[in-house]
Amino acid sequence: MTVVALTGGIAAGKTTVTDVLRERGIAIVDADVLARDAVAPGSPGLSRVVEALGPGILTEGGELDRAALGQKVFGDHDARERLNQIVHPEVHRLSHEAFRAHEEAHPEVPLVYAVPLLVESGRSDEFDAVVVVHTPRDERIQRLVEHRGMDLSEATTRVDAQANDEQRLEAADCVLDSAQSQAHTEKSAQALADALWSVWPHVERLPRSFP
């Protein structure tokens, strides 16, 4: 079973890249979607998160309040670790279920696992290739301020709560440049999709960069 992991820091442009890959017929398993499933209303995962972090992370309707959760964990390393210890194992389980289902149904179709916290999880070596969508730290902070309405302090905290650029690039087999325009990122993503189709499943043949 061949799986390519795609990662990158917050505001690097991963969604733009995965949207293009889907349009080109690449199968995507999204860790963010699995993480939402892991703490869906009524799930054991959500109950454990509330027990660990308190009821203030819930909406009035009993769903996870992601804004409140973000404020609680991004500036508190211990709280973030408690959250990760609950959510990461469940996401890991759900992802491997999805990989096996894909392998049984469509092994000829390239499979990409979009996983923002790959480096932080220490699981880079589990995948056949790692693609890093790369925009430098300062540019990502600026994007959060300009496009997501965060103040500079919050944006900096969010970015610095993740692995740094050097750690992420060290884990990369391939680097996709997303530091320029969205159109440029889309063009690089199209090149990545074409490369995946041309070499699959021999992903060791992927180019080292998509500039």
pLDDT at 84: 86
Which pLDDT tens digit goes with each residue over 58-90? 998 889 998 899 888 877 889 988 998 999 889
CA angle 83, 175, 172 (to 5 degrees): 55
pLDDT at 121: 87
Strands (E), 42-149: 111-114, 129-134
Please give the CATH superfamily to which domain 1-26+109-211 belongs.
P-loop containing nucleotide triphosphate hydrolases (3.40.50.300)
Question: Which residues are paired to 24 by β-bridges?
Answer: none
Distance CA 38, CA 173 (A): 29
Amino acid of residue 180: Q
Which pLDDT tens digit goes with each residue over 156-211? 999 998 999 999 999 999 999 999 999 999 999 999 999 999 999 999 999 999 99
Return residue ranges of the chain for CATH 3.40.50.300. 1-26+109-211
